[in-house]
Amino acid sequence: MKSTLATLERLTDSVSLFAANVAAMILLFLVAITCIDVVGRYIFNSPLVGTVEMVEISMGAITFFSFPLMFSRHDHIIVDLIPHFKRGYLGWITSIVFLAVTFYIALKLGSRVFDYATRALEDGDVTEYLNIPRYPVVGFITAMIFTAAAISLLKLLVVLTNPGNSVESVVEENLGSNSIEEAES
């Protein structure tokens, strides 16, 4: 069971890195269109048409394409009000509860966004100026949300198979073992 989970973790890490690289390319595109728009607007007095739409789409895509890596590496924003909840069996139980809640919320969010994607496809919804169809963008966002939910479920299973260890300690162990494996190869 643990070897299967370790294999799945490596697979999800690869998928997460791919999605993060896509987010980085979208960010590069965002920088390029912003520069083109600024130069066109202030030097040539001719702004790039549809920049606002492309920026809106790009910002949403960057955010949601970053979800899988954030969930995989457990890089959520964390406020440690009571650090005792991170240690021992109390940390383990807390990790289980938070991962279960995260999985449920990601599933509900993905379900709602999927409904929007299907409505956009059925209605032929397009952006206002450039007539870009919305369903492919929202479909990819939906896929990233469901990927993040699957990663949360996998992390939950990993934590359940390591009693007494919180998700932070399991992630640190896995990241440490991955860097050791990379150094050996």
6-42: pLDDT as tens digits: 888 888 889 999 999 999 999 999 999 999 999 999 9
Question: Quick check: is 184 in a domain?
Answer: no
Tell me how far apart the alpha carbons of residues 172 and 184 are, in angstroms, rounded to a whole number.
18
Helices 167-184 and 134-160: angle between axes, nearest 10 degrees: 100
Segment 61-88 shows an average pLDDT of 79
Q: Is 48 in contact with 40 (CB distance < 8 Å)?
A: yes
DSSP bridge pairs for 126: 133
Residue 184 confidence (pLDDT) above 50: no
Model pLDDT, residue 180: 40
The distance between the two most distant Cα atoms of the chain, rounded to a whole number of Å, is 64
Report the chain's mean pLDDT, rounded to a whole number.
86
Q: Between these two residues, 131 and 5, which has the higher pLDDT value?
A: 131
Q: What is the DSSP letter of 179?
A: H
Is 120:134 a contact under the CB 8 Å cutoff?
A: yes
Q: Given a cut of 90, is residue 55 above it in pLDDT?
A: yes
By the 8 A CB rule, do 69 and 20 touch? Answer: yes
Is there a domain that residue 102 lies in?
Answer: yes
Amino acid at 83: P
Q: How confident is the model at residue 94 (pLDDT cuts 50, 70, 90)?
A: confident
**Helices and strands (DSSP H and E) totals, the chain:** 6, 0
Please give the pLDDT value at position 75: 74
Could you list the residue range(s) of the whole structural domain that residue 126 is in? 2-177
Report d(CA 11, CA 9) in Å as an integer: 5
Q: What are phi and psi of 79, to 5 degrees?
A: -115, 115
* pLDDT confidence of residue 107: 96
Asked whether residue 78 is domain-assigned, the answer is: yes
Structural domain contains residue 183: no
- State the pLDDT confidence band at 90, using cuts at 50, 70 and 90: confident
Number of domains within the chain: 1
157 in any annotated domain = yes
Q: 48: which DSSP letter?
A: P
User: Is residue 150, in this structure, part of any structural domain at all?
Assistant: yes
> What pLDDT shows up at residue 109?
96
Residues comprising the chain, all counted: 185
Q: Is residue 37 part of a domain?
A: yes
| pLDDT tens figures, 132-178 | 999 999 999 999 999 999 999 998 998 888 887 766 666 666 666 55
With beta carbons less than 8 A apart as the criterion, state whether 178 and 6 touch: no
